[in-house]
Amino acid sequence: MKLRLGSRGSALAMTQAREMARRITELDHEVEIVCIKTEGDADQQSPFAQVGLPGLFVRSIETALIEGRIDLALHCYKDLPSDSPAELQVVAMPEREDTRDVLLVAPAAFAAKAEQLPLVPEAVVGTASARRQALLRHLRSDLSWGLLRGNLQTRLQRLREGKFDAILLAAAGLARLERGAQRGEGNALAIEGLERLDLDPTIFVPAPSQGALALQARRDNGDMQTIAAALDQPDDHRAVRAERFLLALVDAGCQVPFGAYARKTPGGSLELHAALEVNGELRRARARGGDPESLARKAFEELLGNGAQAQ
């Protein structure tokens, strides 16, 4: 069967789409990648909290899927709002990539013996994420942040130009682009000479579903659901469901400093870590359980048990 796979057009998104197309081709299907520009791609200057409503990086792709211009949509799962259009559903989540955030530090700003983060006092860190900004504030109150958006190559260039002392990135994106470069699908990332620290996801809590990809199809397209189901990784998907149940309870978009990270324990249950800034206070939660939804509710009660509302 020939199918059309819709994706954003950034270098990272196209690397992900080509990887996914290869996997679908291995299932004896022919794949055409359809590049779709989203609203989030059009504005590369504003902080995410000011760009607009949730779904900026997925709405145009979902519209193409609903209208039948593509058969499957590939998203970074963290870009999907907790409430997708009724006509659509996530039908598969392949193996999850590294969930962690990565701190890349210019050599002159690296301080190995510094507490919490290896940065010189009053260093400036590049990020557009409200979550990362909040975690930085509470780990190191002396640090400041500067707005950093654009593709990974652009972000690295701004670090090397001295616009920032360090930048925060998702480990998953770095890994995928590095694999793509090894296959000759793009330029290698210029990280040589930079200090790299992979941050503990139980402390510097990632965005919900960070590192995961989602395949989305129309609810009335059984063929696409069947094809995609063969690519699903149940354990990883179960952990991400817990994170996204909590995301829906907190009702956190890009403007809310919120992170959630779930992992399977050796005993087979899930452990969920969460962080949420409420009125300037960073609240943390840790819960264990087997059912993703019940686990999310436990964490939610720990975060907001006093009835406070996320700001």
| Identified catalytic residue from 41, 71, 79, 291 | 79
Number of neighbours of residue 251 by Cβ within 10 angstroms:
13
- The side-by-side arrangement of strands in the sheet containing 270-278 is 258-264, 270-278, 281-289
Q: Say whether 79 is catalytic.
A: yes
- Rounded to whole angstroms, the Cα distance separating 151 from 170 reads 12
Are 282 and 134 spatial neighbours (Cβ–Cβ below 8 Å)? yes
Cα(296)–Cα(286) distance, integer angstroms: 10
Report residue 23 as tokens. 């996997």
Q: What is the C-alpha to C-alpha distance for residues 104 and 153, in angstroms, rounded to an integer?
A: 13
Q: How large is the greatest C-alpha to C-alpha distance in the chain, in angstroms?
A: 58
* E-strand stretches of 140-253: 144-146, 166-170, 195-198, 213-218
Q: Which residues are catalytic?
A: 79
